[in-house]
Amino acid sequence: MGFGLWAPAITVVIAVTVGLVGFVLLKDGELPTLQENQFWGPASRKAAGKEDKSIRSFQINISEKVVTDLKTRLKLEIASVDERVADPLDGVAFQWGVHKKFLKKVQDYWLNKYDWRARETLLNKYPNFKTTISGLEIHFQHVKPQKKGKKGTRALLLLHGWPGSFVEYQKLIPQLVEPKDSEINFELVIPSLPGFGFSEASSRAGLGPPEIAQIMRTLMLRLGHQKFYVQGGDWGSMIAGDMATIYKDNILGAHMSMCFSFHPRSILKFGAALALPQFLLDDDDRAQFSPLMRVITNHIRETGYLHLQATKSDTLGIALSYSPSGLASYILEKFSFWTDENSLAKEDGGILKTFDLDTLLDNVMIHWVGKSSTTFLRIYAETLNPLTSTQLSLDSVPTSVPVSCRNYPKELLAQPRFALTDKFQNLVRFTRAKTGGHFSALEVPTDLAADIVTSLNLIDVSYRIDIDVD
Ligand X SMILES: *[C@@H]1O[C@H](CO)[C@@H](O)[C@H](O)[C@H]1NC(C)=O
Parallel, antiparallel or unpaired: strands 185-191 and 136-143: antiparallel
Residues 62-81, interacting with ligand X (CB under 6 A): 63
Query: Least distance (Å) from ligand X to the CB of residue 369?
Result: 13
| Of 115 and 282, CB closest to ligand X | 115
Cβ-Cβ contacts under 8 Å for 106 (sequence gap 6 or more): 325, 328, 329, 332, 357, 361
Contacts of residue 176, defined as CB under 8 A and 6 or more positions apart, other chains included, come to 156, 186, 188, 449, 452, 453
Q: Is the Cβ of residue 57 or residue 342 nearer to ligand X in the bound state? A: 57
| Residue 62: closest CA among 112, 106, 118 | 118
Helices (H), 261-388: 264-275, 277-280, 283-289, 292-302, 304-311, 313-322, 324-337, 351-354, 357-369, 379-384
Per CB under 6 A, 33 contacts ligand X: no
Question: How far is the first Cα of the chain from the last one, in angstroms, to the nearest whole number?
Answer: 75
* Least distance between ligand X and beta carbon 113 (Å): 21
The reply to whether 44 sits near ligand X by the rule CB under 6 A is no
Nearer to ligand X, 35 or 121 (CB): 121
CB of 125 to ligand X, least distance (A): 12
Is residue 385 helix, strand or coil?
coil
Scanning 56-64, 158-166, 216-224, 319-327 for contacts with ligand X by CB under 6 A, the matching segment is 56-64
CB of 124 to ligand X, least distance (A): 7
Catalytic residue list contains 299: no
Q: Is 438 a catalytic residue?
A: yes
CB of 171 to ligand X, least distance (A): 23
Active site residue 380: yes
Phi then psi dihedrals of residue 426, to 5 deg: -120, 60
Minimum CB–partner distance for residue 61 and ligand X (Å):
4
Return the H-helix or E-strand segment holding 293. Answer: helix 292-302
Options 19-27, 57-65, 208-216, 311-319: segment touching ligand X (CB under 6 A): 57-65
44/61 with CB nearer ligand X: 61
Pairwise CA distance, residues 200 & 130, whole Å? 10
Q: Which residue is nearest to ligand X (CB)?
A: 61
Give the DSSP H/E element, type plus range, for residue 357: helix 357-369
Q: CB of 63: closest distance to ligand X in angstroms? A: 6
In the set 255, 380, 422, 460, the catalytic residue is: 380
Q: Which is nearer to ligand X, 65 or 353 (CB)?
A: 65
Name the packing angle between helices 264-275 and 292-302 (round to 10°): 120
Asked if 61 touches ligand X (CB under 6 A), the answer is yes
Please answer whether residues 164 and 360 qualify as being in contact, where contact means their C-beta atoms are separated by less than 8 angstroms. no
Nearer to ligand X, 44 or 59 (CB): 59
Point out the catalytic residue in the list 234, 340, 451, 460.
234
Does residue 122 sit in helix, strand or coil?
helix
* The one-letter amino acid at 432: R
β-partners of residue 140 are 129, 191
Q: Count of residues binding ligand X (CB under 6 A)? A: 3
Q: Shortest Cβ distance from residue 60 to ligand X (Å)?
A: 9
Q: Which of 438, 447, 451, 460 is catalytic?
A: 438
**Closer to ligand X by Cβ: residue 33 or 61:** 61
Q: Which residues pair with 130 in a beta bridge?
A: 56, 139
Alpha carbons 344 and 341: distance in angstroms, whole number: 7
- Residue span binding ligand X (CB under 6 A) among the ranges 55-63, 71-79, 90-98, 101-109: 55-63
The one among 37, 44, 59, 278 contacting ligand X by CB under 6 A: 59
- In whole angstroms, give the CA distance from residue 258 to residue 158: 13
Which of 63, 278 has the CB closer to ligand X? 63
Taking residues 153 to 172 in sequence order and writing x for each that binds ligand X by CB under 6 A, - otherwise, the string is --------------------
Exposure string over 116-136, b if 16+ CB within 10 A, otherwise e: beebbeebeebebbbbbbbbb
Which residue stretch of 59-67, 168-176, 299-307, 448-456 sits at the interface with ligand X (rule: CB under 6 A)? 59-67
Q: What are phi and psi of 428, to 5 degrees?
A: -80, -20
Catalytic residue numbers read: 234, 380, 438
Positions touching ligand X (CB under 6 A) are 59, 61, 63
